[in-house]
Amino acid sequence: MVKEGDYIAIFNSIHRVMEAERLLKDKHLKVLLIPAPRALAADCGLAIRYADDIRGEVEGALAEAGLLPRDLYRKGGDEFEKVGE
């Protein structure tokens, strides 16, 4: 379940999303691999969910590893708002 204010990171491939999950869990960050919400149409069908309070740590770790997501969304009400556009 995606809660209000959560972030959803969408990646280009199953390999990248799995690699990103492993990296973040190795850093003891509380992330969750989830089926990508249908409204977001992910190529690989999976996404990483994380809370706003660890956003900086998550995105910093992904950037450092060269694993930035293809798209990033934030749950707002009943919709997902694209971040960075």
Condensed to tens digits (0 to 9), the pLDDT of residues 29-40 reads 999 999 998 888
Tell me how crowded residue 20 is: count the other CB atoms within 10 A of its CB: 24
pTM beyond cutoff 0.95: no
* pLDDT at 42 (0 to 100): 59
What is the pLDDT confidence band of residue 1, given thresholds at 50, 70 and 90? Answer: confident
* pLDDT at 38 (0 to 100): 84
* pLDDT at 30 (0 to 100): 98
Q: How far apart are CA 67 and CA 81, in angstroms?
A: 21
CATH of domain 7-82: 3.30.70
Q: How far apart are CA 44 and CA 27, in angstroms?
A: 24
Check whether 76 has a pLDDT greater than 90: yes
